[in-house]
Structure 1
């Protein structure tokens, strides 16, 4: 049995709270987010998406059972954040976490 695939993008910005406040309600029109403190989580495209506000960084985490689903979760989170942050040239670069054998 294969472990869940996980990838993460740490997007450096001076306004992580503002971008999270845009991203969560926008995506929340199609899926329900659960927010606990600085972390919001939702089922997205067959996987899970996490948006976490940090000090000068907005962290996106994508989790999925397979590579195709992981790519869809990454696309949904990354594409929307880049669109909201276009003026400030935000770029989402995903790093895939290693899986246990």
Structure 2
């Protein structure tokens, strides 16, 4: 399993987490509350955690193509939702394959 992590510093992390999850639940399985979200993407899964200073993402997929798709889905939607904060992109750190 390949992984990628990112974080967006914002006082609106919980709001973005809930907005993303509400949007995604129309098409995929999603579980969330005000501080944590889990999305079952076609290419893997995305985990989100929000606190008072931001929102963190962990995307997992079986292959590089799936990881790129998962990161793209999360990033494109967050950029759209966070337009007032002038977010242009997320800075992703890809990790070693998970065991």
Q: TM-score, normalised by structure 1?
A: 0.87
Aligned twin of 1:92: 90
- Bigger Rg, which one: 1
Does the 8 A contact of 2:49 with 2:57 survive in 1?
Answer: yes
Residue 48 of structure 2 is matched in structure 1 by: 51
Count residues with an aligned counterpart: 98
Give RMSD over aligned pairs: 1.8
2:13 paired residue number: 16
Gaps of 5+ in 1: none
TM-score (norm 2): 0.88
Runs (5+) with no aligned partner, structure 2: none
Runs of 4+ with >6 A deviation:
none
Residues 3-50 of structure 1, C-alpha deviation per residue, up to 9 Å, x if partnerless? x10001111111111111211101111112122662111211221011
